Amino acid sequence: MKVLYFASVRETIGIPEEEIELLDGMSTVRELMTWLKQKDGTYERAFAEDALVRVAVNQEYVTLQHPISKDDEIAFFPPVTGG
């Protein structure tokens, strides 16, 4: 699956996107985030507070419980405010 990082999430991790293979037992956005946090300290910092990260799957806002598949595009970004 293609995973995209935006704004402060991208700045913390240091890359704009990557391809990740869907692993056994990884079926929701939350499970992907948990796996990413274990990759290294930069991911752990980027995803330290679930409330500060928003996610979209295939360009639609979703919750962390949303199911994922190997063909999805998953984007992580901080909350956005308007004005």
From the CB of residue 71, how many other CB atoms can be counted at a distance below 10 Å? 9
From the CB of residue 83, how many other CB atoms can be counted at a distance below 10 Å? 2
* Location of structure tokens 């929701």: 28
Instruction: Specify the DSSP element, H or E, that contains 32.
Output: helix 29-37
pLDDT at residue 82 above 60? no
- pLDDT score for 40: 92
Q: What pTM was computed for the model?
A: 0.92
Question: What topology is assigned to 2-77 in CATH?
Answer: Ubiquitin-like (UB roll) (3.10.20)
| Region 14-26 average pLDDT | 95
Q: What is the CA radius of gyration of the chain?
A: 12
Amino acid at 60: E
pLDDT at residue 79 above 90? no
